[in-house]
Amino acid sequence: MSLGAVLSGLTPNGMRARLGNSLRHETVRAPVRVHHFDPALLWVTVALLAWGLVMVYSASIAMPDNPKFGRYAHTYFLSRHAMFLGISFVAGLLAFQVKVETWERVAPWLFVLSLLLLAIVLVPHIGKGVNGARRWIGLGPISFQPSELAKFAVLLYAADYMVRKMDVKERFFRAVLPMAAAVAVVGMLLLAEPDMGAFMVIAVIAMGILFLGGVNARMFFVIAAVITVAFMAIIASSDWRRERIFAYLDPWSEKHALGKGYQLSHSLIAIGRGEIFGVGLGGSVEKLHWLPEAHTDFLLAVIGEEFGLVGVVVLIGMFLWMTRRIMHIGRQAIALDRVFAGLVAQGVGIWMGFQAFINMGVNLGALPTKGLTLPLMSYGGSAVLMNVVAVAVVLRIDYENRTLMRGGRA
């Protein structure tokens, strides 16, 4: 190298050029990492599943002391819930591999399958009855609840329906009535079990997808009014449902404290005992045969007693973040002209958010008692399985969104 070249490299211009080349080489050597799907959504889901596993064990550890569960080991519900999580993990991985266009293609058939299972569960000696309700189909050592599949199937069917009816969504009878008829058939089968809670969630999912799919706002309010009147008629025509409403209004009364208001009153006692920071993991007293269904519908009450207000607020925050993030993924898909994918993601957000809201409202005494589990956390194989599959489908939608934004093919 000549002396002139060396001296030119020592000038300010030459030094800036060398620095620019160095930075360019450094950029090439250290590219920015782009995730193929939303890692935060995945880890929040895993955190809820793990917290749920711990709380199911805490809430159920004393159940074998009750003669009704005397033949079970203290780890019975823990081991079964862990098994359900393992099955759900495998199902979630498989669901993530399925392209969204495949879900769109099979949506009507999955809806028909869910209707068949809802009908089969009502057949004596096939459907399994528990506490006066026939909601499960026995599959050897485990049971499957068709209503959980129905939530997912109606979600896919409603999204597919709105895509097919884009040209008539402003016409009430052609756009709304066919979907309303489909939901009504599902509702009749669910009320025959009976499972009004699942019907309520399915109706809200269908309504939400119709609204987000572009159905006229006036039509939406008409649908909401009709569904509200229908639910009021169902409650008015059933003595035990009316009793639940009266018990919710005054759970401490002499008439309801040991009857329909028993669960709610003990749920409120548990949450009240937790105060700000809780009594500590495993320290709940209400789970010791005072609070029925502590490991399923009233898991939040045990969380409130053991982790206090702080734990409940953190849990509410996690579900709020998850719902908001899923809805954002849905909007992103619609912006990429993937309407079916976007409606499916937003339907999952409605499902998770609304069911969590109902369960928390029941546990906190803000809503009448309703048999709905806390998504991703409460004990129950079918519910956890379908929750994980639904989140896996959302992650697949996000993966395809990101692939398209990078210039690839979904």
Residue 4 binned pLDDT confidence (cut-offs 50, 70, 90): very low
- Those residues whose C-beta lies under 8 Å from the C-beta of residue 395, and which sit 6 or more positions away, are 37, 38, 41, 42, 96
- Torsion over CA of 113, 116, 118 and 119, rounded to 10 degrees? 180
In this model, does residue 83 exceed pLDDT 70? yes
Read off the pLDDT band of 172 (50, 70, 90): low
pLDDT for 28 beyond 80: no
pLDDT digits (tens, 9 = 90+) for 15-25: 444 444 543 44
Write down the mean pLDDT value for the chain.
Answer: 85
38 to 46, 328, 396: CA distances (angstroms): 13, 11, 10
- H helix intervals, 165-238: 172-175, 177-191, 196-212, 217-236
Q: What is the mean pLDDT of residues 272-297?
A: 92
d(Cα 39, Cα 62) in Å, to the nearest integer? 36
CA distance linking residue 85 with residue 97, whole number of Å: 19
CB 128 within 8 A of CB 136: yes
In terms of pLDDT, which residue wins out, 92 or 196? 92
Q: Where is average pLDDT lowest: 19-23, 156-160, 187-191?
A: 19-23
The pTM assigned to this predicted structure is 0.87
Residue located via tokens 């199937």: 153
Cα–Cα distance between 14 and 338 in angstroms, integer? 51
pLDDT tens column, 327-355: 999 999 999 999 999 999 999 999 999 99
Q: What is the pLDDT of residue 21?
A: 53
